[in-house]
Amino acid sequence: MEPEKLLTSPDLDLTSGNLKNELGRWFSIYETLTETLSKPPYEISPEWRFYKDGGAWLCKMTRKKKTVFWISAWKQFLKCGFYFTQKSGEGIADLSIDPSLKSSYNDATPIGKQYPLVIDLTAKKQLDDLYTVVSYKISLK
């Protein structure tokens, strides 16, 4: 079954109440994620914007001016996408994350010069892997 995008209307007003309604069962994961990442040591802020080329709202998770990762909402999961250059991604193999994430990263087709590491969040227990990747990403120069 093909994943189905959520948040596809450019006219949505993404207040927290509307976001809760639109994300449905994924809102509690999103809420836990954003609450944790807003505090030290992460200090990451969400920024929702509608992207015409993708036909959906995406959340850019930023620390100061640096984009750390992106979130897109799907009926089946929350997709969190990190992008690394060949050099910046070298340390991923050493991270304490699910081996399937490492292998999907190693097998990923580059997008330009960027290699994607994608985490499809379906459960809060996956957040530890996400926090590990976030810590790695923000440690890069």
What domains can be seen in the chain, in order of their start residue? 16-139 (3.30.1460)
What's the pLDDT at 13? Answer: 87
Residue 40: cis peptide before it, omega within 30 degrees of 0: no
94-131 per-position pLDDT tens digit: 999 999 999 999 999 999 999 999 999 999 999 999 99
52-90 per-position pLDDT tens digit: 999 999 999 999 999 999 999 999 999 999 999 999 999
Q: Which of 78, 71, 37, 39 is nearest to 57 (CA)?
A: 71
